[in-house]
Amino acid sequence: MQLILDEDQTMLAQTAGAFFNEHSPISRFRALRDGDDSRRYSLELYRQMAELGWTAIPFSEADGGLGLGLASMIVVTEAAGRTLAPEPLLESVMMAGQALSLAGNAAQKERWLTPLIAGESVLALAHSEPASRYDLSRIELQASADGDGYRLQGRKLHVLGGAQADAFVVAARSAGQAGEREGISLFIVPADAAGVKVQAQGRVDSRNAAILELESVRVDGDALLGELGAGHGVLETAIDRATVALCGEMLGGMNAAFEMTLDYLKERKQFDTVIGTFQALKHRAARMFIELELARSVAMAAARALDAENGHADPQARSLVSLAKAKLSEAYCLIANEAVQMHGGIGMTDEHDIGFYMKRARASEMTFGDAAFHRDRFASLGGY
């Protein structure tokens, strides 16, 4: 495992950085937040990203992807995270797309994954429920056999990218009860199926999310993704991959917030001098820098460890994912808090952009497990 960018990744970082600066500066995030389209991103810009190949990066060549892995994907999500670009790379590519790639059969991949990779359709993964917090086995939404198909009944929350998605990958319970790993099944549900109700969720970080209600929704047998009752492993792997992609996004966000703050320390004057001369602030800035450097190392390591997995879960790789998510969650929140504090009163205003990062930091922390959740998982994987 080499913890440096290779030549292609270095070029990708430059291309992606320039792309988001040009097409999605933070002012665009603000405009989308203030607009009234619940999508909160642009399909047209997303398709431009697909044309650049970014939506194909983490998929194998057999799936019609580029086979470049998470090591390259986090280069793109980092650049997106810097300007809070809202296109659904995480939601469609890294969540729903990974589940399809892991468990889909040839027909399902042709029907759903190919257009997803092309950026022509957007899918969302619906796994969170009111009682599930971060536990992927606490699934209650019911799936019952209905002739040669299934009937789905229940409610999902925090369906990232769910508002105006074309279809959903829904985690449902086909046997057993909440908290058991066995008996969880994944289904593909088109957004226009009878009984599907999608309601946009308003989140503090303005990320596209939805409440999904399935009222006796009938799907055919070919909507079942993978084996009946064996969806938990798929879900866990997909979420682990998405977690690493999110870590890339968080890394970009915390770097942007840190740089904005450093700039401010170098220009804001009080007591007839720039406030960056004050040791009380210098030392805290240096502490943030230390956390940033550690965060970059663990995010890169987790991406490379998952890329090296050979079709089955490697506990060492998974513990690096938990290491990354725990460290990134703490570092992003620390840096965002300090960034607002160091900006002073202006940092509390809606007019200033720095507050966006504080909101995103917290929302990212609460996505796929916070630091405490991942410390617990790290310890369990380590046998203590």
Partner 1 sequence: MSDLESFRTELRTFLENETPKEIRGQLGPDAAYWGGRNPELHHPEAKRYCEIMASRGLTAPTWPKEYGGGGLSREEAKVLDQELGRLRLPPPLTGFGLQMIGPTLLQFGTEEQKQEHIPPIVRGEIRWCQGYSEPNAGSDLASVQAGAVIDGDEITLNGQKIWTSYGDKSDWMFALTRTDSQVKKQMGITFLLLDMDQPGVEARPIKLISGASPFCETFFENAKAHTRNIINGLGGGWTVAKALLGHERNMIGNVFGGGAPRGDKGGPPKNPLAELARQYLGEADGRLSDPSIRDRVTAVSMDHRAFLLTMQRNADNLKAGHRPGPESSIFKIYGTELNQRREELMLSIRGPQAVGWETPGFSQEELDQTRAWLRSRGNTIEGGTSEIQLNIIAKRVLELPD
Q: Taking CB under 8 A as the rule, does residue 316 contact partner 1? A: yes
CB of 378 to partner 1, least distance (A): 6
Nearer to partner 1, 214 or 247 (CB): 247
Nearer to partner 1, 69 or 161 (CB): 69
Q: Taking CB under 8 A as the rule, does residue 215 contact partner 1? A: no
Nearest-angstrom CA–CA distance, 251 and 81: 7
Please report where in the chains the tokens 């008996």 appear, as a residue: 183
Cβ contact 189:214 at 8 Å:
yes
The binder of partner 1 chosen from 283, 313, 346, 350 (CB under 8 A) = 283
Cβ contact 33:40 at 8 Å:
yes
Nearest-angstrom CA–CA distance, 94 and 124: 10
Q: Taking CB under 8 A as the rule, does residue 105 contact partner 1? A: no
CB of 148 to partner 1, least distance (A): 43
Residue 88, classed as helix, strand or coil, is coil
* List of residues 6+ apart from 215 with CB closer than 8 A: 153, 195, 196, 197
Which tokens go with 310?
């050979």
Residue 162, classed as helix, strand or coil, is coil
Residues 30-89 that bind partner 1 (CB under 8 A): none
Nearest-angstrom CA–CA distance, 341 and 357: 13
Residues 261-280 that bind partner 1 (CB under 8 A): 262, 265-266, 274, 276-277, 279
CB of 326 to partner 1, least distance (A): 6
Residue 143, classed as helix, strand or coil, is strand
At residue 144, what are phi and psi to the nearest 5 degrees? -125, 150
CA 338, 340, 343, 344 dihedral sign is negative
H/E segment holding residue 155: strand 149-160
Q: What is the 3-state secondary structure (H, E, C) of 170-187?
A: EEEECCCCCCCCCCEEEE
Q: Taking CB under 8 A as the rule, does residue 3 contact partner 1? A: yes
Nearer to partner 1, 146 or 180 (CB): 180
Nearest-angstrom CA–CA distance, 222 and 224: 5
CB of 58 to partner 1, least distance (A): 22
The binder of partner 1 chosen from 106, 286, 311, 351 (CB under 8 A) = 286
Pick the piece of the chain touching partner 1 (CB under 8 A) from 15-23, 106-114, 151-159, 375-383. Answer: 375-383
Residues 235-264 that bind partner 1 (CB under 8 A): 262
Pick the piece of the chain touching partner 1 (CB under 8 A) from 12-20, 172-180, 340-348, 369-377. Answer: 369-377
Q: Taking CB under 8 A as the rule, does residue 178 contact partner 1? A: no
Q: Taking CB under 8 A as the rule, does residue 14 contact partner 1? A: no
Residues 318-347 that bind partner 1 (CB under 8 A): 323, 326-327
Nearer to partner 1, 130 or 289 (CB): 289
Q: Taking CB under 8 A as the rule, does residue 10 contact partner 1? A: no
In total, the chain counts a number of residues equal to 384
The residue ranges that bind partner 1 (CB under 8 A) are: 2-4, 262, 265-266, 274, 276-277, 279, 282-283, 285-287, 289-290, 293-294, 296-298, 300-301, 315-316, 323, 326-327, 372, 375-376, 378-384
